[in-house]
Structures are given as C-alpha cells and as structure tokens.
Amino acid sequence: MNGLGGLNKSPNGVGIGVVQLQLPVTKTKADLTAQTARVVELVAKARRNQPGMDLVVFPEYALHGLSMDINPEIMCEMDGPEVAALREACIDNKIWGCFSIMELNPGGMPYNTGLIFSDTGELKLYYRKMHPWVPVEPWEPGDTGIPVCEGPNGSTLALIICHDGMFPEMARECAYKGAEIMIRTAGYTAPIRDSWRFTNQSNAFCNLMITANVCMSGSDGTFDSMGEGMICNFDGSVIAHGTTGRPDEIITAELRPDLVREARRHWGVENNIYQFGHRGYVAVKGGAGDCPYTYMTDLAAGQYRLPWEDEIVTTDGRDFGFPTPTRAYGEKEC
C-alpha cells in the first residue's frame, strides 16, 4: 500500500518524495552556487507537488556531481552558504529535507556527508559516509557511526549513503538502533542497477524496515546515472519505483512506520532482526545470544583478515589516479 503515492495519507502515514535529480557538472564555486539554487527550487517543487509530503530526499552528489574533484573551492562547510540555503529551503517550504554535501576536512580528504533538516530548520541528523565506493571515491571514511533521529509524524529515521547499502551490517545497525525508515542516497550508474534493486529489498526485509532509496539521474556527458527511486516496504515488497529514470522526477509514497512497529512486535516467523540475537528460542529459553561469527569478533579485535587477503590486487586508488595514501585512519596531515 502506498496511498496512491501519498495522495491519500493516513493519520499514521509519512509522505515521502525521493528526487531523481539531474546529474550536475560542478567545476567552480559559481557552479556550486547555481546547483544549490537548483536543489532549493526542487524543494519548493516537492512542496507544490504534494501538500501531504513530509520529507523530500535528494541523492548523493546532488551539489557536487560525479567528478570526484576534491578542489577545496567546491567543498562545503557546515557554516557555509550552501548548507544555510538548504536549511532555509526546509523552513520556507515547511518540509523535512535530506541532502548531500562534500564536506571540507582540513588535514584529510573531504567527507561525503548527509544531512537531515526538520521543517523548522533544525539539524536532526548528520552522517559521514562509512564506506566510500573504493577504489573510485577519494572520501575520508566516516567517523560518526550510524546515527538515527526522530522524523516526521513520530517516525525514526536513519541515513546511509550509496555503497554503504551493499554491506548488510549497515542496514542491520540502522534497525538495531531503532530506525523504521532507512534512507539510502546514491550516485550510482547503470552497471549497479540489479545490485541496487535487490539490496534495497533485502535491507528492508531482513530488518523489518522501510527503505527509501534514490540515485542521481541523467547524463553529465561522461557518466549516466540511473534514477531508480525505489521505496521498499518492511516485507521487502516494492511500494514505489521510478523505473523510467526521468531526471528531476519525484517518486512519492506514503510510509507507515506504525506498521513497522507492529510487525517487529508481533511477527514470529521471519522476525529476523529479533531472532538474530535469540537463536533457537523454541529449543532454549530466550534463545542463544552468543556471537558465533568469526568475522565480527575478529573485526572488533582489530584482526579482520580474509583467507585470500595477500592475493587481493586492488588495495588503493592508483588505478583511478589517486596517490597511495601514507596517512593512517584518524591521523591528520600537518
């Protein structure tokens, strides 16, 4: 059920629109300013498009484009004019907004940062991408963990970015921390289409969680992004899907976080987010709550190592024109 794309929103519903934003080309500060203005225009379009829309979501690289340019001139700062304009757009249009910036990081590579503002302009969620799409992306690995926040109409939101969604642990962490709606913003291009679709659905089903997902759309003359706005219900079914990839189309749906809460409490079979930590509770009281997964215990101990690790060919970004890094995670350049 999607309430005819949110046209018939119930008292418990959350109206969402995911914007298949036209892929921009951003080379200069003037380009960045112009693209920010374009996103602000589309926030207003979202509000006009549907009075019942509570949250509008823009894809990764909405301001920056896919050039991977780390020129400081086109990086954003949290107290800069771009973030101020996005915040003001939410206030002016009385709508929640999810946005993407490439954030200046003195002493390191820029962060790929996601922001959620409320309809009063309050910063509700700040997230730095945990898993840059290596070896293509140069961004600093995120250091904020995976936050969740209160969303519209009593919902609980989480945000992950693009490649993050290929790691089932990311969606599981969102759900474990209480997210009922997980947003996934992306700049993916067409070769990832099938992987995008089935991970969006599996992330939903495996965690009894709604996933709202969107990519950039159209061409910048080099890359062709695919749009693929895709909203999946907690049972893995697709509520809405932008299959045409039309640039700037807003894919809408009504989400029901109250039904997520109901399923998490009342499902027996396939309540996997609960059963993961209570294995075999029919046989043993409360189920087994141990951690039998070697990769988890090794990672926690700083000893994560694959059996074929010494044979892996690509372990840095040289194939994509980036120098081999010498700075360890957490260190800053002087």
Q: Give the residue ranges of the chain where pLDDT is below 70.
A: 1-2
pTM: 0.97
Domain boundaries, the chain: 3-275
pLDDT at 3: 72
List 98, 149, 162, 174, catalytic entry: 162
Which pLDDT value is given to residue 6?
82
The distance in angstroms from the start CA to the end CA of the chain is: 54
Per-residue pLDDT, 140 = 98
pLDDT tens digits, 269-316: 999 999 999 999 999 999 999 999 999 999 999 999 999 999 999 999
Question: Is 60 labeled as catalytic in the residue annotation?
Answer: yes
Q: What pLDDT is stored for residue 152 in this prediction?
A: 98
Give dist(CA 220, CA 250) in Å, integer: 20
The single residue of 60, 137, 173, 249 carrying the catalytic annotation is 60
The angle subtended at Cα 154 by Cα 151 and Cα 160, nearest 5°, is: 30
Q: Is 3.30.70.100 the CATH classification of the domain at 3-275?
A: no
Return d(Cα 313, Cα 294) in angstroms, integer. 24
Which tens digit of pLDDT belongs to each residue from 162-173?
Answer: 999 999 999 999
57-88 as b/e, with b when 16 or more CB fall inside 10 Å?
bbbbbbbbbbbbeeeeebbbeeeeebbebbbe
What pLDDT is recorded for position 333?
A: 87
Judge whether 129 counts as a catalytic residue. Answer: yes
pLDDT at 1: 55
pLDDT at residue 43 in the model = 98
Question: Alpha helices, DSSP H only, in the chain?
Answer: 3-6, 29-49, 81-93, 168-176, 193-205, 257-266, 272-275, 294-300
Catalytic residue among 82, 129, 149, 249: 129
